[in-house]
Amino acid sequence: MSAQITLNARNLSRRLGRREVIRNISLQLKRGEVLGLLGPNGAGKSTTMQLLSGVLIPHAGQIEICGINLAQEPGRAKACIGYLPEHPPLYRDMRVDDFLLYAAKLHGVARSGLAEALAIAKSRCGLEDTGRKIIGTLSKGYQQRVGIAQAIIHNPDVVILDEPTVGLDPSQIRDIRALIRELGNAHSVILSTHLLGEVENICDRVEIMQRGQLIYGDTSVRMQSLGHQAGFIVTLQSPPEPAELYKVPGVVNVEALSATRFKILHSIDANTAEALLSLSAQQGWQAQQLTPLQGNLEDAFVHITQKQPNQHDQT
Amino acid sequence: MTRPDTMILTIAHKEFRSLFATPSTWFILGGLQFIFAWFFLARLDAYLQVQAQLVQLANPPGATHSVAAPVLATIGFILMMLVPIFTMRLVAEERRNQTLVLLMASPVASWEIIAGKFLGMLLFLSLIIAASFLMLLTLALGTPLDYGLLITNAAGLFMLAAGYSALGLYFSTLTTQPVVAASSTIAALFGLWLIDVAGSSTGTILKALSPTVHFQSFNTGLLLSKDITYFLLFSAICLLLAIRRLNNSRIYG
């Protein structure tokens, strides 16, 4: 059985005055999938999240949550969504337990299931010992956890997290990422971020936004290969003149990193590494180590977002 | 699915409880009770001084009429300045602290949010009104009371509190600054009161707009359907405007 589609948004648009801040966005999300919404500041990520969570109403387009139309039956559809805004909506003078129970009741958790829902949400977010504390006295990291707990307490099918790791220290970020990954097993998760590392670590799929439009969408693995530059770093114990290396078929650029290490870029189709190794064996260059260059998301992101404006101007 | 009334009660309960979570509420309640007691004792003292002459009249006014009614009229006046202080936070503070999103993203309709907040506020104000009545009931220790007059007064104060909180709630939805909400509510209520006290020069139609005019008949023991209708309409219009404002913030951000 193929995974159920939990969120289906078609052709969403939203204007701010005359300016279109969201243009024609379509998104689909399957159960058990973590989707990263990536983009520079001001690209419209938060607005998209607000549209999907039903806080704002799109000026055009349809949103279906688990097959329920968000505009026509907001009550039923919103019960399937958990939303953590950019700024967690916490009542600073409430106790953690009271706040979470309030959130659960608002999301329609039945009275009989409240205690269990509270216990599960707290244990998932590591809040077991903070139930009696006043939210305003908690650290930023713990407040963020309370925010996430609030979003998952009613066991929603779709969890929408807007920049969940902003302002946290590295160990807190690690914890929250692990939590999101875990959430992704049972729920569908959309998270927005401008941190590429986050996408690399936890997202199955990436959508890149710029100027209110989705400009690229693919699996995060495929996106990494996009920034990939064909090449490798090789160590030669008795290297020849660099000019010799250029003679190897396919080599585009040679950069000496040290006396014995060279970074070699080559054209994508050429089988340069093999050619170099066999040549090295013939000439006695003593090749020792050959590491292919890893493409990273950073490169891919820059690659995609820089290419886009030009394309846009042409159309 | 939970029914809408449980959502309203959930929100009302939360508003009611959060009012008591701040020390300033307790402080205001204490101060208020002190002021009420002051007025009450002053009125009682004045009444005792003229009581000897009053008994010589054929149909002397009782303690309820001479003491309780004026004190309750004063409470009605104090409500005008008191209610905005409590209603200002209802929505404005949620906007400022960005907690309104929690309600907006929940499966709760705008009218349920407004109804819940209104109900919570009304419950709280009823408590203040009830406390003042407890004080007045001590008169029963020394003299028979006109309970009919007390009941119309209670109904009047309740209606007045409902109208004022609906207006305050509406102003609270308009801004992100609680203080702005409070001062504009006080200004509006003061304006409505001025229509009443401006004297006979103002037309009767204009006077019919003022809540205090309609409260006066309750205060003198009259239960008129036009006054009840006025307060129901006044509250309903303010609440509808508040719901509309909340809906608009979903559309215009």
Helix (H) or strand (E) holding A223: helix A220-226
Average pLDDT over residues A249-271: 77
Q: How confident is the model at residue A280 (pLDDT cuts 50, 70, 90)?
A: confident
Measured CA to CA in angstroms, residue B57 lies from A193, B53, B61, B62, B140 at distances of: 83, 7, 9, 12, 22
CA distance B213 to B197: 9
- CATH code 3.40.50.300 region(s) in chain A: 5-226
Measured CA to CA in angstroms, residue B245 lies from B71, B113, B120, B170, B241 at distances of: 37, 12, 20, 8, 6
Q: Do A53 and B98 touch (CB under 8 A)?
A: no
Q: Is the pLDDT of residue A242 over 80?
A: no
Give the number of domains in chain B: 1
Q: Which residues of chain A have a CB within 8 Å of the CB of B14?
A: 102
- Window 144-163 of A: residues touching B by CB (8 A cutoff) are 150
State the smallest CA–CA distance between residue A204 and chain B in angstroms.
26
pLDDT score at A253: 78
pLDDT score at A315: 36
Q: Do B107 and A93 touch (CB under 8 A)?
A: no
Provide the 3-class DSSP secondary structure of residue B48: helix
Among A104-108, A125-129, B151-155, B189-193, where is mean pLDDT lowest? Answer: A125-129
Q: Is the pLDDT of residue A250 over 90?
A: no
B250 → closest Cβ in A57, A79, A108: A57
- CATH code 3.30.70 region(s) in chain A: 231-292
pLDDT score at A312: 45
Confirm or reject contact between B138 and chain A (CB < 8 A). Answer: no
A108 → closest Cβ in B18, B107, B250: B107
* E strands present in A119-267: 158-162, 188-193, 205-210, 213-219, 231-236, 251-256, 261-266
Q: How confident is the model at residue A140 (pLDDT cuts 50, 70, 90)?
A: confident
ipTM entry: 0.87
Q: Do A56 and B100 touch (CB under 8 A)?
A: no
Q: Is the pLDDT of residue A223 over 70?
A: no
A54 → closest Cβ in B6, B100, B105: B105
Q: Give the right CATH number for A5-226 from 1.10.101.10, 3.40.1010.20, 3.40.640.10, 3.40.50.300.
A: 3.40.50.300
Confirm or reject contact between A17 and chain B (CB < 8 A). Answer: no
Tokens of B220: 């003198």
Q: Is the pLDDT of residue A135 over 50?
A: yes
Q: Is the pLDDT of residue A7 over 70?
A: yes
Task: Quickly tell me which residue has 């979903």 as its tokens.
Answer: B250
Q: Is the pLDDT of residue A265 over 80?
A: no
Provide the 3-class DSSP secondary structure of residue A67: coil
Q: How confident is the model at residue A244 (pLDDT cuts 50, 70, 90)?
A: confident
Provide the 3-class DSSP secondary structure of residue A245: helix
Confirm or reject contact between A95 and chain B (CB < 8 A). Answer: no
Q: Do B104 and A54 touch (CB under 8 A)?
A: yes
CA distance A24 to A311: 17
A55 → closest Cβ in B10, B109, B250: B250
- Tens-of-pLDDT digits for all 253 residues of chain B? 456 688 999 999 999 998 988 888 999 999 999 999 999 999 999 988 888 887 787 777 788 888 889 999 999 999 999 999 999 999 999 999 999 999 999 999 999 999 999 999 999 999 999 999 999 998 888 888 888 999 999 999 999 999 999 999 999 999 999 999 999 999 999 999 988 887 666 567 778 888 988 998 999 888 899 999 999 999 999 999 999 999 998 887 6
CA distance A169 to A19: 37
Query: What's the domain range around B17?
Result: 4-252
Closest by alpha carbon to B137, among B241, B40, B20? B40
Q: Which residues of chain B have a CB within 8 Å of the CB of A75?
A: 1, 107-109
Asked whether the beta carbons of B209 and B192 are under 8 A apart, the reply is: yes
Q: Is the pLDDT of residue A189 over 50?
A: yes
Sign of CA dihedral B243, B245, B251, B253: negative
Q: Do B106 and A106 touch (CB under 8 A)?
A: yes
Q: Which residues of chain B have a CB within 8 Å of the CB of A102?
A: 10, 14
pLDDT score at A313: 42
Question: Architecture of A231-292 per CATH?
Answer: 2-Layer Sandwich (3.30)
A260 or B111: which carries more pLDDT confidence?
A: B111
A108 → closest Cβ in B2, B22, B103: B2
Among A100-104, A121-125, A172-176, where is mean pLDDT lowest? Answer: A172-176
State the smallest CA–CA distance between residue A14 and chain B in angstroms.
9
CA distance A253 to A245: 9
Confirm or reject contact between A79 and chain B (CB < 8 A). Answer: yes
